[in-house]
Amino acid sequence: MAYTIRQFVTAAYEEIGLASYAFDLSPEMLQSAARRLNAMLAEWNAKGIRLGATLASNPDAIDIDASSGVPDAANETIIASLAVRIAPGFGKTVSPDTKMVARNGYNTLLSRAAMPAEMQLGPLPAGAGHKNIDHPFLSPPTDPLLAGGDGVIDFS
């Protein structure tokens, strides 16, 4: 199940040292970080990193308990990247490890977005030299076996 917006926001605050067990996050802080998260995911979407996130059209009416809709593989990158974006507003400096996770994860997401998706062509005519007149088309494409929301299992 996808993280909620609240889970991303609280994890990002924990990453910069404002953990929820020692620091109460006000509704304004949650909404502010949710707006930053929404803007960050919209920016990534514009750059071709389409994670399937549910983006709010009105930044002042973000439901922070709504599911984000992003695949689990992107969670750590989103948390670290959001932490890097909200830390300066609290006078915090994120650790080099957090910056590295954010940068490496972003580069991974960007490289996955740059690779064209595999696709199969529909049934093609077999051609003039094809001897089996009962089947004038080549075999139809096979559906790949999915390994979850973001992968294909390849047995070749």
Q: What is the pLDDT of residues 1-15, one digit of tens each?
A: 689 999 999 999 999
Residue 15 gets the label, from left (phi > 0), alpha (psi -120 to 50) or beta, of alpha
The beta strand positions in 1-156, using DSSP E, are 145-146, 152-153
* Residue 140 reports pLDDT greater than 70: no
Q: pTM score > 0.95 for this model? A: no
Report the C-alpha gap between 103 and 106 in whole angstroms. 5
The pLDDT score that the predictor gives to residue 25 is: 85
Tens of pLDDT, residue by residue over 92-128, are 999 999 999 999 999 999 988 877 666 666 666 667 6
The pLDDT score that the predictor gives to residue 108 is: 92
The pLDDT score that the predictor gives to residue 97 is: 96
Would you identify the CATH topology of the domain 5-114? Answer: Hypothetical protein yqbg (1.10.3230)
Supply the mean pLDDT for the chain: 83
Average pLDDT over residues 53-59: 84
